[in-house]
Amino acid sequence: MRILPDHTGAHVILEMEDAERSIIASLLSDVSQLLSADLPEPDADPFERLVGHLDPDQDVTRPADPALLRLLPDVDSADSERSAEFRRLTERDLREAKLHSIRIALHSLGQRPGPVTLDADAARAWMRALTDVRLVLASRLDITRDEDAERLMSGETELGDTGEAVLSLYELTTWLHEHITQFMLGRLPAHPDDPIDADLDDLFEVDDPSEVDDPPQDTGPPEGDAGGTGEEER
């Protein structure tokens, strides 16, 4: 897999093998199914979809699946009533916003064979979608802190074949998310409605995203010198 800018610098290009494309699409689809549970059907009353969550008698259940709870967390772990009320008012919109980003990512993957070209809006959708994929994978691996991920990647913990496969997917999506973010910081135009973009360079202290190295293979995605071309390869 490679990530590189187009000749204008206004788009991110993802070059993937067919197997890599299939893996990313499968992960996105799995998270989409997780988020789609209990949402109204597409042909439900539009008015009900718009205001149904405002019904004070509507019952919104706290997710039992730890992965879904990671995507839709409690607003206040110390106040269950406040969290339940906030969930009733916001959960449907949050689910649908996350699903919208996933649909954009899946659409760009399925448009045509060959490289995937992302403009600024699509790249942002990919970042949001990959964040949710990583949250689900982290939940399956019981990763709650950076130290947990480092411990698993160091090989100190025996994960078994399934765990190792999930960890590999976590590393892949982390690498992809990080490098799309780096190109967003240095190459794509800021969104007019997204004022935080102007402060991202200071926040992440990235001087030149084209010179970012990949991490070593045994602790994450491979390290490599971009050689000043702006390309990132896995």
The answer to whether residue 90 is domain-embedded is no
The answer to whether residue 87 is domain-embedded is no
**Domain assignment of residue 201, given as a range:** 2-35+98-233
- 3-class DSSP state for residue 224? coil
| pLDDT, position 46 | 61
Which pLDDT band, with edges at 50, 70 and 90, does 47 fall under?
A: low
Which pLDDT band, with edges at 50, 70 and 90, does 161 fall under?
A: very high
Which pLDDT band, with edges at 50, 70 and 90, does 197 fall under?
A: very low
Instruction: Tell me the C-alpha distance between 14 and 4, whole Å.
Output: 7
| pLDDT, position 230 | 60
Q: How many domains does the chain have?
A: 1
The answer to whether residue 61 is domain-embedded is no
Residue 210 has pLDDT above 50, yes or no: no
Residue count (the chain): 234
Residue 2 has pLDDT above 80, yes or no: yes
The answer to whether residue 192 is domain-embedded is yes
Instruction: Tell me the C-alpha distance between 6 and 27, whole Å.
Output: 26
**What percentage of the chain has pLDDT greater than the value 70?**
71
Q: What does the block give as tokens for 116?
A: 């995937």
Does the pTM surpass 0.85? The reply is no
Eight-class DSSP state of 117: E
The answer to whether residue 163 is domain-embedded is yes
If you average pLDDT over residues 30-36, what whole number do you get?
A: 95
Q: Which residue has the higher pLDDT, 4 or 170?
A: 170
Which pLDDT band, with edges at 50, 70 and 90, does 105 fall under?
A: very high
The answer to whether residue 209 is domain-embedded is yes
| pLDDT, position 225 | 41
Which pLDDT band, with edges at 50, 70 and 90, does 231 fall under?
A: low
Instruction: Tell me the C-alpha distance between 147 and 175, whole Å.
Output: 17
The answer to whether residue 127 is domain-embedded is yes
